[in-house]
Structure 1
Amino acid sequence: MGNRFCCSSVRRQYPPKKEGSPPPPAETWSRCSTESVTATHNFEVTGFSSLEGIGAGKFLRSGKFTVGGCEWDLHLYPDGWKEEHKSVYASVFLSLCEGETGTSGVTTKYTLTLLDQHGRVSNLTTQGSQGSLQHTFHSTTGYWGFEKFVEKPKLRQLLALTGDSFTVRCVLTVIKKGQAEDVHTAVAPLPQSNLHKHFLDMLKGGEGADVTFTVAGQSFLAHRCVLAARSPLFKAELFGKMNETLAQSIKIDGMEPSIFEALLHFIYTDSLSDDRHADDRHTEMQHLLVAADRYGVDRLMAICEGKLCRSIGVQTVATTLALAEQHHCMHLKRACLEFLSSRDVRQAVKETYGFKHLVTSCPSVILEIFDKPPPQS
């Protein structure tokens, strides 16, 4: 995401002066210009307990990511950056790998935070949920971050909930030098697209709606052309042989109203609703993935699959694995199998309610996973 503000200088024109009056003073205007680029990188670390004891000063690198024309990565020190931090803290730093620094360096603002088991920013770090830094990198060997990023005892509490894994999130803004542009050559600023907002207003307002859906007794107004353009199943239902049902309300079975509402929101805006704060976000994503598969909304299905991959836990892995098997989500199935690679995790999963569902719905997976010993480390 980039923001750019144009510089320009103009002279204000005044009406003709009256005869005998003094000339008006000259008035000029100028505007400061700044350009910035922001991006987010998530660094997931699995099997953290096996990394403890590698020694202070030894670190793991994240994959490289590009922001502001430069390449960056994250350095995680499981036993701390310094010897005195070995058994107390884990350290995290941002490093500039490649890019033109120039004489003034690369100016940045960024946050380094820890995600909890629900994928939200945790307050377990020594900086709370902020972890904000400002730093100018003058060379590609420079790195800057937190020596005391998170206390090891607090990190172990999180690892017990996430199957020995955690994620460090870096939100990085690279700030570039301002520029002055001549008013005659300046390009008019382009507003951000608000097409999604107009479609959402159309959905919420119901203006021009020509089809009604009933889900568990709750009614939803929508527009046939929008639904048909976004979903092959809606297209078949609304413009195919089934279109005679349009005279009446179309009943949707096997779905909660909140999930159908989220499905409509995505169809109209191509994004998930920001105001949804369900207590069990993982379960909501499971139901939304089923709805996306049912109506052939592939992008929504991929988004749900990605979110589920990042929120797998002991209580959810069994139902998630069954879901992945039933809806042919290979990435999600692979993430579940990796989570189940630990013998201790398998034993805990067997005691959950979701495991019983997995046994009855996907017995072949049970034979494949639980009847084989875990891979040797």
Structure 2
Amino acid sequence: MGNGKFISPGTFSVGGHDWAIRFYPDGFSSSSQSYISVYLELLDKDTTVRASCDLMLVDQTTELPTSVNKTELRIFNSGDLSRFAPQTDLFMVRSQFEASSYLRDDHLTIQCIVTVRKMPQASTTKSVHQIEVPPSDIAKHFGNLLDAEEGADVTVSVGGENFAAHRIMLAARSPVFRAQLYGPMREAKSKHITIEDMQPAVFKAMMHFIYTDLLPETDDHIDADMEMIRHLLVAADRYAMDRLKFLCQSILCKTIDVETVSSTLALAYQHNCERLKDICIDFITRSDVMDALVETPGYKILKTTCPSALVEAFEKTKRFRKM
């Protein structure tokens, strides 16, 4: 592009103020023509803002950000050069940048964390007669009800283990349970229902969520925990518990890597998790992991159980590389 010419991807707002990123591929000035220059700019007119920022480059292979330049809390004045941060045009040596994994197929991602510190304001004086209301503890009480089994009126048998439960709680949280326990189905008149094809530990975790709206506390065995989350997603889909299903997807998408992406993608396809499916395919297409991926056990399972997932991933990879 030439020295002094920049790209700006658009305006964003933080703390009620407009900001933009400036990227100079060939440096901001003649003294920085062998560097790339990156700035955060305050766009508001006639204003001063107390803020800090952290400018990062995202590794296109791992998708992890690396901080390159931090600006501590200071005044940004829209009327002078202090509206820019950092106060240097030597962001990174261009040859080092071009050889790094921050740049792949002419794509780079700049991540910027902006923190705006507003001036303190006096709040309304509290009346001495105010009474503080404690936070909600309904989940605790329902959890105690589950543990004590007091008033339980139905027994659920899972994998040879029996669980005491309350019909009204199961029905309130799952339309499938509601149809079983209060509809015309056979279980509606029974005090005992049996669930097939589910592990007792998975049902116990689902029961904990039904009563408390929380997942049970996990131990330090991360792999075992992720396997439980996968089983819980299947159970949530089976019993139409949408919030639990989204919660499991949220956890799984944070642990995607070469070893897990195939099994997670197959799970997303089988249980109609569209956003999780898109995240998995995006990881495959943007992370140059296909060679390593085909060597994993999960890939062989994916190829057998969900060939359509691979077709979509390969098609997207092909389109991406043409961009």
Same fold (TM over 0.5): yes
Higher-RCO chain (CA-CA 8 Å, sequence separation at least 6): 1
1:268 to 211, 223, 244: 211
Partner of 2:304: 360
2:187 to 232, 235, 243: 243
2:233 to 279, 286, 289: 289
Partner of 1:323: 267
Shift of residue 364 of structure 1?
3.1
Q: 1:336 to 1:187 in 2, by over 3 A?
A: same
Aligned residues: percent identity?
Answer: 35
Shift of residue 219 of structure 1?
3.6
Give the whole-Å Cα distance in 1 for the aligned partners of 2:126 and 2:20.
Answer: 39
Partner of 1:45: none
Q: Confirm or deny that 1:179 pairs with 2:126.
A: no
Partner of 1:254: 197
The answer as to whether partners of 2:50 and 2:118 remain within 8 angstroms in 1 is yes
Give the whole-Å Cα distance in 1 for the aligned partners of 2:279 and 2:43.
Answer: 29
The 3-state SS of whatever aligns with 1:267 is helix
Give the whole-Å Cα distance in 1 for the aligned partners of 2:10 and 2:229.
Answer: 27
Give the whole-Å Cα distance in 1 for the aligned partners of 2:314 and 2:51.
Answer: 51
TM-score (norm 2): 0.65
User: Does 168-177 or 302-311 show the bigger shift?
Assistant: 168-177
What is the number of residues matched between the two proteins? 301
Q: 1:187 to 1:285 in 2, by over 3 A?
A: same
The 3-state SS of whatever aligns with 1:374 is helix
Partner of 1:135: 73
Give the whole-Å Cα distance in 2 for the aligned partners of 1:366 and 1:270.
Answer: 35
The 3-state SS of whatever aligns with 2:157 is strand
Q: Confirm or deny that 1:227 pairs with 2:170.
A: yes
Shift of residue 233 of structure 1?
0.8
Give the whole-Å Cα distance in 1 for the aligned partners of 2:226 and 2:62.
Answer: 8
Alignment of 1:1-377 (within 5 A): 64=12, 135=73, 141=83, 177=120, 179=122, 181-184=124-127, 188-240=131-183, 241-243=185-187, 246-248=190-192, 250-275=193-218, 277-280=220-223, 281-341=225-285, 344-370=288-314, 374-375=318-319, 376-377=322-323
Shift of residue 349 of structure 1?
1.6
Q: 1:225 to 1:340 in 2, by over 3 A?
A: same
Give the whole-Å Cα distance in 2 for the aligned partners of 1:335 and 1:236.
Answer: 34
Unaligned runs of 5+ in 2: 26-31, 102-106
User: Does 219-228 or 266-275 show the bigger shift?
Assistant: 266-275
Q: 1:243 to 1:341 in 2, by over 3 A?
A: same
Give the whole-Å Cα distance in 2 for the aligned partners of 1:221 and 1:97.
Answer: 61
Q: Cα RMSD between the aligned structures?
A: 5.3
Give the whole-Å Cα distance in 2 for the aligned partners of 1:73 and 1:189.
Answer: 42
Shift of residue 295 of structure 1?
0.5
TM-score (norm 1): 0.57
Q: 1:372 to 1:180 in 2, by over 3 A?
A: closer
